[in-house]
Each structure stands twice: as C-alpha cells, then as structure tokens.
C-alpha cells in the first residue's frame, strides 16, 4: 500500500507516461495496490443543474443489460494503476455534488463542458460548438446531434474531403458559418447520421469489433477511466485509426442508469500526433500520445462536473484504414437500446442550455 501521497502521485504519473508511449505499446503485467475511491452520497440535484447537461442520446437506463451484438467485446475491470486518485493528485478535483462553484469563468469554451481540460497540452485547436447553430442545438428528435456531427467529420476523412480530423472540423465550421446552401446540406447529413447510425457508407475504413463498458458494479471512477484509456490505446495503435467514443452522464453518486450521453471522435494522425473532436468544444491536436491521454483523462474527470454529473465510459467504435481496396462498407452501429424515457424534465431531454 502506498502511504506517501507524493510518492504515490509520482508513481501514478509515471504509469501514465509509460503506458501512452510514442509507439503506443502496452506495458505488460502492471499491478497497483492503492487507495480505493468511495464516491460521496448523492445530494439532491436541482432542475437547473439537471438542465445544464447537454445530451446527445437521451436516457439509456438499463441498456447494458440487453443483448450485445455479435463481435462486441465486453470490457471488464482490470488491475491497473490509476491515472490519479482523489486523495493524492496535486490537481485534486473539487468535491462532486453539492455546491461546486462557478465553472467556465474566463474560459473561451462553453461552461461545464470540459473544454479547458481538452485544451491542456494541445498544440492547436479550432472551436466548434453545436450550441452555436440552430439546427444542431437540439436535433430533429430533441436529443442533440453530437453523434451525427462526429460521423459527418468522419465522412469527410473517409471521402478524402479532408486530410485529417482538424481539417474536417475546420471545413465544417466554415460551411456552417457560410452560405445557406452548403450549411443546409451539411446539417441535413448530420441529422441523417444522428437518426440513422447505419447511413454512413465507408469507402476507406473498416469497422473493428465494438467495445461496450459495463460499470454498474464498478463505482471507482479511476478504474473506469483507466480501462477506457487502455482500450483506446489498443484501438488507436496505428496512424490513421479513428474511434468514436461514447460517454454516459450519470447523476453524481448514482451507480446505474444513464441520464444522457455524449460522443467524441479521436484520430491517430500519420505523424503520431492525436486529435480529439468534441462537438461541444472543437478539435484539439496534441503532439504525442502522452499529451493526448493526459488531456482526455482530464476531460473524463471534469466535464459536466459542476452540473452535478459524472462522465462514465460507454462504448468505443473504432475504424482502421483498409490495406486493400474494397467496396463501400456500412458502418454497423451499436444497437440503440434506449428504454422508455424516465420522468426527467423535458428540457434535459431536449439538451437545452438555460442561462
């Protein structure tokens, strides 16, 4: 058991830097004996806090109990060293739940969405926020459009309309702010991809087996983050690899049942830099895997924090460039296993963002 907080924190950081090395190799036989994080008991959440969480997929309670599609890899708990612990990290997160202060003060990004965490260590970024555009704020079904947005970015890369994810997002922002015709065409595609996950026909990428995370019995946030980062390390091991990362939003301290969701897109670039695209914040480029991993895990720790929610891993859909030419490949989606909506305020389901 590590008793020295400073030594423990140093060991934890050393693990992160070792694991996400530039050649993306996995460090074998890693073990850790450290402090267990016991989440605080949930405090009553207000309607304003509930409404602050921008959702893209609506309620997902009970989804993980349903049958998984063939080829899915079900993630289980592993014995991994933590990226950080609540007691030992020098950048210890503010206590979750209750009064957490004001987020986003002085930030160039929308409040409570993790933009500052994603910007940490980034060599460059371009802003893109779905709330800036009428047709992407709530989507056709009132659940947001983040999944449709990341698929539109992926379509541009697949069609060689953009050389990389940063360029794809740059073009999307230009079209969204430009002529009505181009903007409407793009927003039509986004709405189509959001409502029909199989609509994207890939020409240069093959989809790999999807990964689903089941954490109803795993309250430890550090374990959740470490496991997702390990799986992303595996799925993004080659230059050109892409991954759609699905996240679930849970009321702080509640063990099961999604109350909303979000999607991001990550690319391993040819020069071994990495790019994360968050439809709430924009595209961020990191010079190496270590800086990307540090920023992404920081995002998982802090996004939606002050809105009274925990961000938990939900799924990874990874895509790899084909070695040989082939015909169009249908993007086989994770099934939409959303049960009837719980009795939540309508403005949460609509993904509104009241002032």
Pairing of strands 201-202, 274-278: unpaired
Does residue 308 sit within a domain? yes
Does residue 35 sit within a domain? no
pLDDT at 202: 93
Domain of 344 in residue numbering reads as: 5-30+47-349
Does residue 223 sit within a domain? yes
Does residue 183 sit within a domain? yes
Answer yes or no: are the C-beta atoms of 135 and 80 closer than 8 Å.
Answer: no
Q: How many domains would you assign to the chain?
A: 1
pLDDT at 248: 87
Give the integer Cα–Cα distance in Å for 190 and 141. 12
Q: How many CA atoms lie within 13 A of 92 on its CB side?
A: 13
SS3 22: coil
pLDDT at 309: 76
Does residue 261 sit within a domain? yes
**Residue ranges for the chain with pLDDT beneath 70:** 1-105, 111-112, 139-143, 215-219, 252-259, 306-307, 324-355
pLDDT at 28: 33
Q: For residue 176, report the phi and psi dihedrals to the nearest 5 degrees.
A: -65, -30
Does residue 328 sit within a domain? yes
- In this predicted model, what pLDDT tens digit does every residue of 244-266 receive, in sequence order? 999 988 776 665 555 678 999 99
Give the integer Cα–Cα distance in Å for 311 and 292. 18
Does residue 36 sit within a domain? no
Answer yes or no: are the C-beta atoms of 133 and 188 closer than 8 Å.
Answer: no
Pairing of strands 282-286, 274-278: antiparallel
Q: For residue 320, report the phi and psi dihedrals to the nearest 5 degrees.
A: -125, 140
Query: According to DSSP H, which parts of 248-339 are helical?
Result: 289-302
Residue whose pair of structure tokens reads 């049960």 in the numeric block: 339
CA angle 319, 320, 325 (to 5 degrees): 120
Does residue 355 sit within a domain? no
CA-to-CA separations, 342 to 255, 259, 281, 339, 351, in angstroms, rounded? 16, 8, 28, 8, 15
């Amino acid at each position: 058991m590590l008793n020295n907080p400073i030594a423990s924190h140093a060991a934890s950081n050393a693990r992160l830097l070792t694991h996400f090395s530039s050649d993306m190799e996995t460090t074998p036989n890693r073990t850790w004996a450290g402090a267990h994080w016991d989440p605080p008991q949930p405090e009553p959440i207000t309607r304003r806090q509930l409404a602050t969480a921008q959702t893209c997929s609506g309620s997902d309670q009970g989804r993980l109990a349903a049958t998984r599609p063939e080829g899915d890899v079900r993630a289980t708990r592993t014995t991994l060293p933590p990226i950080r612990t609540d007691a030992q990290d020098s950048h210890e997160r503010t206590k979750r739940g209750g009064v957490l202060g004001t987020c986003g003060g002085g930030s160039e990004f929308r409040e409570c969405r993790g933009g500052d965490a994603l910007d940490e260590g980034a060599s460059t970024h371009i802003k893109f926020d779905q709330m800036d555009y009428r047709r992407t704020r709530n989507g056709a079904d009132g659940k947001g459009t983040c999944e449709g947005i990341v698929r539109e970015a992926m379509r541009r890369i697949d069609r060689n309309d953009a050389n990389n994810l940063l360029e794809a997002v740059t073009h999307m922002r230009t079209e969204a702010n430009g002529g009505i015709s181009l903007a409407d065409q793009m927003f039509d595609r986004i709405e189509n991809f959001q409502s029909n996950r199989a609509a994207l026909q890939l020409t240069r990428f093959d989809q790999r087996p999807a990964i689903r995370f089941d954490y109803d019995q795993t309250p430890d946030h550090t374990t959740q983050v470490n496991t997702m980062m390990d799986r992303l390390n595996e799925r993004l091991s080659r230059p050109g690899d892409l991954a759609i990362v699905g996240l679930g939003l849970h009321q702080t301290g509640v063990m099961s049942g999604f109350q909303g969701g979000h999607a991001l897109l990550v690319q391993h670039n040819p020069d071994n830099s990495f790019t994360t695209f968050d439809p709430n914040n924009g595209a961020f480029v990191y010079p190496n895997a270590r800086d990307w991993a540090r920023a992404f895990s920081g995002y998982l720790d802090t996004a939606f924090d002050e809105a009274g929610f925990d961000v938990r891993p939900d799924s990874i859909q990874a895509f790899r460039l084909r070695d040989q030419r082939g015909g169009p490949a249908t993007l086989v989606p994770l099934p939409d296993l959303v049960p009837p909506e719980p009795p939540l305020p309508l403005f949460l389901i609509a993904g509104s963002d009241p002032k």
